[in-house]
Structure 1
Amino acid sequence: FFVGLFVLVAGLIETGVIATLAEKATDLTGGDVAATSMLILWMSAIASAFIDNIPFVATMIPMIQDMGSLGISNLEPIWWSLALGACLGGNGSLIGASANLIVAGMAAKEGYPIKFAQFLKLGFPMMLLSIVLASAYVYLRYLM
Structure 2
Amino acid sequence: MFPFELVRLTDFENEVRIVVRSSVDGAFWEAEIGITSLFVKGSTLLVLSRSKLDAWGQALEALSLGQDVTWMQSDRGPTMSVRLEGERDCPEVVVEDESISMVTVRVPIALEEGWIADHQARLRRFVENL
Larger radius of gyration: 1
Identify the structure with the greater helix proportion. 1
Question: Per chain length, whose mean CA-contact separation is higher, i.e. which structure has more relative contact order (CA < 8 Å, sep 6+)?
Answer: 1
State TM-score, norm by structure 1: 0.27
